[in-house]
Structure 1
Amino acid sequence: MDAPIEKRRSPVLIEASALTRCRHRVYLDATFPEDLAAAPENPGAKQRQEAAAAHRESIRRQLFDAQPGWVRIAADGPASRRAEDTIRACRDGADRIWGAVLPADPETGRRGRSEILLRDTARGGYIPVIVVNHKVTDPGRGATTTGLFAWEPAIDETRKVRSQLRDQMRVAQLYRMLERHGLASPAKVAGAVGYGGDCILVHDLSEVLADYDERFVDRIAIARGEVATEPAQIGECRTCPWWARCRAQLVQTHDVSLVAPGQRATVLRELGVHTVDDLARWDGTEPEVWPQGSFADTVVMAKAWLAGAPLVRRYGHVHVHRADIEVDVDMESYHEFGAYLWGTLLNADGDSAYLPFATWDPVPTADEARSFGEFWTWLSDQRKIAERRGKTFAAYCYSRTAEDKWLLASARRFHGLPGVPSEAEVRAFIDSPQWVDVYQAVTDQFVCPNGKGLKKIAPLAGHRWRDEEAGGEASMSWYREAVGYEGAPDPTQRQRLLEYNEDDVIATKILREWMTDRAVKEIPHIDDL
């Protein structure tokens, strides 16, 4: 247990985000609010908040320009005053309210805001609609949607629901808060405007409220100090302000979640395995149900963690596909808006040269087609040169999912423009032996107790990034400054992004060379543990 559990004297209020958050974090947030307020701001969280705010404002302008009669609740001032204004607008029968703040409820412990409240003209009450900066649907069929400007729900033959539990919990909490004031629509529906902002996904709350109520009872009891929690490593820990504190406790106790995070730790605890030491001594059969990955690898991770080995070889030899002419590729994108940079490192005849293909117009932009077309033309030329010279060719990336996604998406979006290939051409390339995922080579040949990300593995090969803040989330903030989302474009941030991208492609080069030449000598084999 992290700290003595005690009933708090002041009212505890939680937002719906707590319902999909780590239970122990809910406890820490509520128990130590001063420490939380003093924690350093996470750059990734900051840029996501800024992007979400820009998306909300874009949707607001679109709605206000098309429809008169909106009631807008002031965005500043005390929350209590904004809540009073919201309830007054509802009592006055406003059809459309933007920026709604519902009254905090000390008795139930709820607080919440809804970008939009729509009056249900047929049944009475209000329908909460949230605006979020992520996808809420995917191509398909079966989702219930309605247009932005009229609430007319219907089955959509072009979209399917992309499950977003956090959205469901948020609109369910808003419904319960409206219900508390007699302002909830009897239809028990809510909406979400997602990335793209061209429709409203309709949530049927009758299918959500039971789960919401159960989660809320659990989280509010934790926040009030009525239920004990303990730290455990999960995916959320990477960006949690409490992670340093929790990790120290987990390391001290050798908690098994350090090598088997999330549901895997839950399964192990049910089997009586609570520490890394317990797992390293495992000599029985594998569990009947294992949530993710290889159980045998997890046991090796436990042994490696105790031995202080950051990497373990599976085999006597280490192999990665090599070629006479090699090109390292790393793509940089900004959320779902577009891929603004294709960085390359050409390695031929003993020399290496970095060449970026970028657009500095804020994505999405037509100029993205130019930069992508130039990248593809250059890459194709290198393949042809290798063929003419009778040389072998290979292009490398690290974790190909993002590169594959934007290669295919760019071909679809810009097909027919100069230099842009067809989707079939891209598919033929990424399915060929010439497209090599170094991440997969690492996964196949090593057990990685500390993770398999490039910034975890490349330093073992001797690579260092010039920028200590380099990372995917930090680069999002740099990009906003580089293209001038909030002001004049900053050329220094453009250079920062180029150097970061260059360091990434150099990292894959150094990593595969290390795997070819030195890894077998420097990394212990499984049997050596």
Structure 2
Amino acid sequence: MTTSVLLDAGVVTRCRRRVHLEHDPTMQDTVTAPPDPTAEQRMADATAHRRSIADEIAGLVGAGWTEIPRGPDHRASEREQLTLEAMAAGAPYIWAAQLPRDQPGGRRGAIDLLVAVPGGYVPVLVVRHKVSDPGTGALTSPLSSPQPATRATDPARRVRPQPRDQLRLAHAYRLLQACGRAAGETVGGVIGLDGDVVVWHDLEAPTWPGGRGALDEYDARFADRLAIATTAASGGAALAQPSRIVECRTCPWWPVCQVKLQGARDVSLVVRGEEAATLRAAGVRTVDDLARLDPNDESLPPTGMPLSDAVGLAKAWLADLTVVRRVPEIVVPRADVEVDVDMESFGDSGAYLWGVWLSGADVGERSGYRAFATWEPLPTDDEARSFAAFWQWLMMIRLRASARGLSFRAYCYNELAENRWLLSSAKRFAGKPGIPTTDQVQAFITSDSWFDLFGSVRDHFLCSRGKGLKTIAPAAGFTWRDPHASGENSMRWYRDAVGMDGAAPDQGQRRRLLEYNEDDVHATLTLRRWMTSSAVASIPYVGDL
């Protein structure tokens, strides 16, 4: 089938409804949500990262390097022709390649690097996220020889699953096939945030569900998205309907879908993704349908959450309640000496701030907030100093409490982030002054001294609009001082605070970050006190709805 629709690699991981809207000619003048400044900054950071990697590899391989110019003065068709000419000339390395459009197949796209191998070319991506983890088994090549022929089993790395990367490589491989330049070996490489090696993927290896390879998965997804886009472009009946998923939070088309979903009182307004699809297939299409179900009805297909919780969420949504109690009585472990902990990180570059709030019995330290921070741009060894200072202070408070016969507990909200940086900081800075061992950190985070308040909220409440701290803490009466407080915005504030883009460090943004962090730890303290007070009884019990 020949089609006038041309799709890029991102389409296979994009919402199906979004694909329809992007190709529906009747939606061309629709007002969509404004671009997310944080997402735009991430794209700018990724561009800078790719430029840095390109310059490094170019310096290493020398005369074998060819770069396809890009920018407003270089049209895609011109760049395609230059790429074709470079491949015809057998250029060993082609940077910023614009692959020829595959009109019959409905594909278009570019790839960061093409590497010449016997029989053709293989694609290499450059991304600004981690593509490997500590371990063994990854196949890697040095940047000085980014060839699949030089790959070897890496004793220090294992592949970090990144499905999006593999699907992008599969898209590039199909484009290379279409122009007759694909290598016989179905491999592709990825250079990640660390920027020190190429991690190679076999695109036919059965690593996907059902024993499929990345190419098989890509082909199935692409055929689906192409059918959706082609039908939309030709004015046919939509093949994809709106349904609320995680992607909706940052999608420019969410205002359009939101109106339609709310008008239909769609069940995905309460349960998302596959759970909503499962319920629709069983005839439960609206929030009202869900609220009327018998929570003990075993004839309904299982969803990702207990049916009683789904029914409770529907009832809460209909009553316009953000939070309801899922149990009659709420119990949260308390201690004589309590410390609330919140960490701020900058992507995968490091954790630049550990904030704490000390409360409870006197242990010879002032109560309230304090921060352990580094304001040197990450990554920096100064992060070890600030982390060590935080850890030593926390352990000192714990020891003093024990010496006085007092109980101690430290709290965080959603321990996945804090635990990740506690363990990785101990590993990265092992041997430096004041740094604990990973065994010491592991012993602490698995002890009764460390408590995840998010887990307690999950166990005790049903939250119809999410369980994030910014959503649940206002129910306890807490308000952030900064109306723009969010983890995403803090990334932009951090860039200014450390002068990451060449400007002088902004002291005002440093104060803003400290206030934001202080409010986060104060919020968990406020939330915990509220959960263990009589005031929480004012939150309706789901059994009474």
Distance 1:286 1:257, change over 3 A: farther
Q: Residue 491 of structure 2: SS of its match in structure 1? A: helix
Provide the residue aligned with 1:458 in structure 2.
Answer: 473
1:273 to 259, 284, 287: 284
Q: How does 1:155-166 map to 2 (within 5 A)?
A: 155-166=153-164
Query: Take 2:203 and 2:439, find their aligned partners in 1: how far apart are those partners?
Result: 42
Equivalent residues of 1:172, 1:208 under 8 A apart:
yes
Query: Take 1:153 and 1:287, find their aligned partners in 2: how far apart are those partners?
Result: 53
Does residue 1:327 correspond to 2:339, yes or no? yes
C-alpha displacement of 1:112: 1.0
Alignment-mate amino acid for residue 161 of structure 2: S
C-alpha displacement of 1:198: 2.4
Equivalent residues of 1:231, 1:250 under 8 A apart:
yes
Does residue 1:54 correspond to 2:48, yes or no? yes
Query: Take 2:432 and 2:535, find their aligned partners in 1: how far apart are those partners?
Result: 44
Query: Take 1:463 and 1:287, find their aligned partners in 2: how far apart are those partners?
Result: 42
Q: Residue 321 of structure 1: SS of its match in structure 2? A: coil
Does residue 1:470 correspond to 2:485, yes or no? yes
Equivalent residues of 1:357, 1:372 under 8 A apart:
yes
1:386 to 401, 423, 435: 401
Equivalent residues of 1:259, 1:305 under 8 A apart:
yes
C-alpha displacement of 1:158: 4.1
Larger deviation, residues 48-57 vs 502-511 = 48-57
C-alpha displacement of 1:161: 2.8
Larger deviation, residues 309-318 vs 284-293 = 284-293
2:97 to 95, 100, 105: 100
Larger deviation, residues 36-45 vs 306-315 = 36-45
Equivalent residues of 1:125, 1:186 under 8 A apart:
yes
Larger deviation, residues 449-458 vs 484-493 = 484-493
1:219 to 218, 225, 237: 225
Does residue 1:145 correspond to 2:140, yes or no? yes
Q: How does 1:48-197 map to 2 (within 5 A)?
A: 48-69=42-63, 70-76=65-71, 77-120=74-117, 123-150=118-145, 151=147, 152-197=150-195
C-alpha displacement of 1:505: 0.7
Equivalent residues of 2:120, 2:181 under 8 A apart:
yes
Length-normalised TM-score, structure 2:
0.90
Structure 1: runs of 5 or more not aligned: 1-9
C-alpha displacement of 1:205: 2.8
Q: Residue 277 of structure 1: SS of its match in structure 2? A: helix
C-alpha displacement of 1:138: 2.7
Q: Residue 201 of structure 2: SS of its match in structure 1? A: strand
Query: Take 1:502 and 1:281, find their aligned partners in 2: how far apart are those partners?
Result: 43
Larger deviation, residues 378-387 vs 150-159 = 150-159
C-alpha displacement of 1:335: 1.2
Query: Take 1:103 and 1:392, find their aligned partners in 2: how far apart are those partners?
Result: 67
C-alpha displacement of 1:490: 2.0
Query: Take 1:36 and 1:344, find their aligned partners in 2: how far apart are those partners?
Result: 46
C-alpha displacement of 1:499: 1.3
Query: Take 1:479 and 1:37, find their aligned partners in 2: how far apart are those partners?
Result: 31
Provide the residue aligned with 2:351 in structure 1.
Answer: 339
Q: Residue 443 of structure 1: SS of its match in structure 2? A: helix
Larger deviation, residues 97-106 vs 333-342 = 97-106
Q: Which deviations, in whole Å up to 9, do the C-alpha atoms of 1:170-209 show, x marking residues without a partner?
A: 1111111112211111222221112212222222233332
Distance 1:349 1:243, change over 3 A: same
Distance 1:37 1:57, change over 3 A: farther
Number of aligned pairs?
A: 519
C-alpha displacement of 1:460: 0.7
C-alpha displacement of 1:289: 5.3
C-alpha displacement of 1:312: 1.6
1:236 to 247, 251, 259: 247
Q: Which deviations, in whole Å up to 9, do the C-alpha atoms of 1:363-415 show, x marking residues without a partner?
A: 12110000011111111222222223332222111011111111111111212
Provide the residue aligned with 1:505 in structure 2.
Answer: 521
Runs of 4+ off more than 6 Å = none
C-alpha displacement of 1:422: 1.7
Q: Which deviations, in whole Å up to 9, do the C-alpha atoms of 1:332-368 show, x marking residues without a partner?
A: 0111111100011122459842111110111121100
C-alpha displacement of 1:220: 1.6
Distance 1:244 1:235, change over 3 A: same
Equivalent residues of 1:231, 1:246 under 8 A apart:
yes
Q: Residue 532 of structure 2: SS of its match in structure 1? A: helix
Query: Take 2:244 and 2:183, find their aligned partners in 1: how far apart are those partners?
Result: 40
Distance 1:289 1:139, change over 3 A: farther
Provide the residue aligned with 1:4 in structure 2.
Answer: none
Equivalent residues of 2:32, 2:253 under 8 A apart:
no
Provide the residue aligned with 2:387 in structure 1.
Answer: 372
Distance 1:254 1:38, change over 3 A: closer
Equivalent residues of 2:494, 2:513 under 8 A apart:
yes
Provide the residue aligned with 1:256 in structure 2.
Answer: 267
Equivalent residues of 1:115, 1:131 under 8 A apart:
yes
Distance 1:302 1:432, change over 3 A: same
Calculate the aligned-residue CA RMSD, in Å: 2.2
Provide the residue aligned with 2:324 in structure 1.
Answer: 312
Distance 1:469 1:29, change over 3 A: farther
Q: Which deviations, in whole Å up to 9, do the C-alpha atoms of 1:74-116 show, x marking residues without a partner?
A: 1313222222221111111100011111133444321211110
Provide the residue aligned with 2:209 in structure 1.
Answer: none
Q: Residue 75 of structure 1: SS of its match in structure 2? A: coil
Q: Residue 272 of structure 1: SS of its match in structure 2? A: coil
Query: Take 2:332 and 2:56, find their aligned partners in 1: how far apart are those partners?
Result: 51
Identity %: 50
Alignment-mate amino acid for residue 277 of structure 1: D
Does residue 1:30 correspond to 2:27, yes or no? no
C-alpha displacement of 1:160: 3.2
